């Protein structure tokens, strides 16, 4: 149903501005439906073509999306600052928040004390000591050309902006990282879904996407969000074989789990002329450590650094010094290894318990478990009634069936049985609705 918000304007630009204002003020909340084109054209006294053009402007900016028979609606996370209560799901004190997808604060390593030298404006984006250490840690990825960005998504955005233009098609994992899907929409790119199983994106799906004109491909190396998929050696060979037949396609590989990953790395980068490999510090060391290492071909890194010099300039050398220290600290390495084992235990416990109750789930690596359900709304509601907040799969999928994503960061052993029991009831209720 469309919300009761008075959209105004007599031109496509004015109408789109009015809708954006409604989103910004919280009157049009995420998921809210907009009036059908002909309905709104009648209310405003303009032609249907004018309203259609306004909706197209909003789609190009990633503010709204077309939802098939459900018409046009506000995206789940539109790229415009709004009232926080309109964007954040309510997770009250009576709920265990298994929706966020972040690491367990209790498992994060202690941040060592550093006193970096005071610097003025720097001429190089990367400290020499960080670059030297990063080249070693990135192997087998070629680190001859690299820079640093303010986190993984910042690096991905800079690479996409350096190569692609609004209207270009881009192959993305389905289901895939919600933040990336929102970023793709905000950049005006058109996502082409590639199915994902436990071994990563399917080679057949990638071939179809590239044959359909996708100019880029974003893939998660390990701990894929939301399914926990990991690209295996065999799947990497198959994907590289597909990519070699499309040498001009941009390949962006996201290794966000980094040192926290408990699976081997089988990179795809280098199979095409333009590529980038991004490794974040957020998952192993803490979300507030906004730094990622970005390696790539010479042209890609030169474009990213050149554009960065015109804006932010560089990532804080204080953060860079801290990362170098953490990479070389045995206590930090031990804490990250312990966290990796603990997340593995939490994932396997949840997946095995669900399996014993007849509920299929996926979670090979990382901090998330993906549970297919007949009806997401029923599942989310039932779990909320049982005291658990989980993320609806609609945020992460394009064409794949319904599911919920459960983050194991806050999950403790006493929670597993009631959580599984609620999921079993949710699936049973959905089956008879």
Note whether 73 and 197 are within 8 A (CB): no
Burial of 286 (C-beta count, 10 Å sphere; 0-12/13-18/19+): middle
Asked whether the bond before 365 is cis by omega within 30 degrees of 0, the reply is: no
The pLDDT assigned to 3 comes to 54
Note whether 12-87 and 96-104+333-432 share their fold: no
12-87 to CATH, choices 3.40.50.11540, 3.40.1710.10, 1.10.10.10, 1.10.150.120? 1.10.10.10
Q: Specify the pLDDT at position 70.
A: 73
Measured in whole angstroms, the distance separating CA 69 from the mean position of its chain's CA atoms is 26
Rounded-to-integer distance, Cα 29 and Cα 24, Å: 9
Q: What local confidence, expressed as pLDDT, does residue 94 receive?
A: 82
Calculate the alpha carbon distances from 270 to 236, 252, 253 in Å: 12, 10, 11
Query: What's the pTM value of the predicted model, to 2 decimals?
Result: 0.87
Query: Tokens 């491909």 appear where?
Result: 217
Helix (H, G, I), strand (E, B) or coil at 391: strand
Pairing type for strands 250-254 and 274-280 reads parallel
Q: Would you give the end-to-end CA distance of the chain in angstroms?
A: 21
Per the DSSP assignment, residues forming a β-bridge with 96 are 388
pLDDT of residue 120: 73
Domain ranges in the chain?
Answer: 12-87, 96-104+333-432, 113-328
Q: Does domain 96-104+333-432 have CATH number 3.90.1150.10?
A: yes
CA 65 to mean position of chain CA atoms? 18
Cα 351 to chain center, whole Å?
22
Residue 124 has what pLDDT?
81
Output the pLDDT for position 90: 55
On the CB side of 278, how many CA atoms lie within 13 Å of its CA?
A: 30
Note the pLDDT of residue 432: 58
DSSP letters for 85-147:
HHHSPP--TTSEE--S-PPPGGGSPPPPP--PPP--S-SSSS-HHHHHHHHHHHTTS--SSEE
Query: Side-chain half-sphere of 84: how many Cα atoms within 13 Å?
Result: 1
Per-residue confidence in pLDDT tens, the chain, 433 aa: 445 789 999 999 999 999 999 999 889 988 899 999 999 999 999 999 999 999 999 998 889 988 777 789 998 888 887 754 433 445 556 899 999 888 899 999 998 887 777 777 777 889 999 999 999 999 999 999 999 999 999 999 999 999 999 999 999 999 999 999 999 999 999 999 999 999 999 999 999 999 999 999 999 999 999 999 999 999 999 999 999 999 999 999 999 999 999 899 999 988 999 999 999 999 999 988 899 999 999 999 999 999 988 888 889 988 999 999 999 999 999 999 999 999 999 999 999 999 999 999 999 999 999 999 999 999 999 999 999 999 999 999 999 999 999 999 999 999 999 999 999 998 887 665 5
**113-328, what's its fold?**
3.40.640
């Amino acid at each position: 149903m469309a919300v009761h918000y008075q959209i105004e304007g007599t031109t496509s630009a004015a109408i789109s501005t009015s809708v954006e204002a409604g989103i910004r003020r919280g009157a049009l909340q995420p998921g809210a439906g907009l009036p059908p084109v002909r309905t709104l054209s009648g209310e405003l006294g303009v032609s249907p073509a004018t309203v259609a053009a306004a909706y197209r402007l909003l789609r190009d900016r990633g503010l709204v999306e077309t939802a098939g028979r459900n018409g046009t609606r506000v995206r789940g996370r539109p790229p415009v600052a709004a009232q926080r209560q309109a964007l954040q799901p309510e997770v009250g004190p009576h709920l265990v928040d298994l929706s966020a997808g972040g690491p367990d604060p209790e498992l994060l390593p202690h941040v060592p004390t550093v006193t970096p030298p005071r610097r003025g404006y720097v001429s190089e984006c990367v400290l020499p000591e960080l670059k030297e250490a990063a080249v070693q840690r990135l192997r087998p990825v070629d680190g001859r050309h690299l820079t640093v960005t303010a986190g993984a998504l910042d690096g991905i955005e800079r690479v996409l902006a350096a190569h692609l233009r609004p209207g270009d098609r881009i192959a993305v994992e389905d289901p895939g990282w919600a933040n990336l899907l929102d970023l793709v929409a905000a950049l005006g790119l058109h996502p082409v879904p590639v199915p994902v199983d436990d071994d990563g994106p399917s080679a057949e799906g990638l071939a179809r996407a590239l044959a359909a004109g996708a100019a880029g491909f974003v893939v998660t190396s390990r701990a894929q969000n939301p399914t926990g998929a990991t690209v295996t050696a065999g799947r990497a060979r198959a994907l590289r074989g597909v990519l070699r037949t499309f040498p001009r396609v941009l390949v962006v590989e996201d290794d966000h789990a980094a040192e926290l990953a408990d699976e081997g790395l089988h990179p795809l980068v280098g199979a095409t002329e333009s590529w980038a490999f991004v490794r974040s510090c957020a998952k192993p060391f803490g979300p507030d450590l906004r730094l990622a290492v970005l390696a790539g071909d010479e042209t890609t890194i030169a474009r990213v650094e050149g554009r960065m010099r015109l804006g932010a300039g560089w990532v804080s050398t204080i953060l860079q010094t801290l990362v170098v220290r953490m990479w070389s600290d045995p206590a930090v390495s031990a804490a990250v290894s312990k966290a990796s084992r603990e997340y593995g235990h939490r994932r396997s416990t949840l997946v095995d318990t669900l399996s014993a109750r007849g509920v299929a789930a996926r979670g090979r690596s990382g901090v998330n478990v993906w549970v297919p359900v007949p009806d997401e709304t029923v599942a989310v509601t039932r779990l909320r009634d049982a005291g658990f907040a989980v993320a609806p799969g609609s945020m992460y999928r394009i064409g794949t069936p319904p599911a919920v994503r459960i983050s194991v960061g806050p999950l403790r052993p006493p929670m597993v049985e009631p959580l599984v029991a609620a999921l079993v009831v949710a699936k049973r209720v959905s089956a008879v609705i």
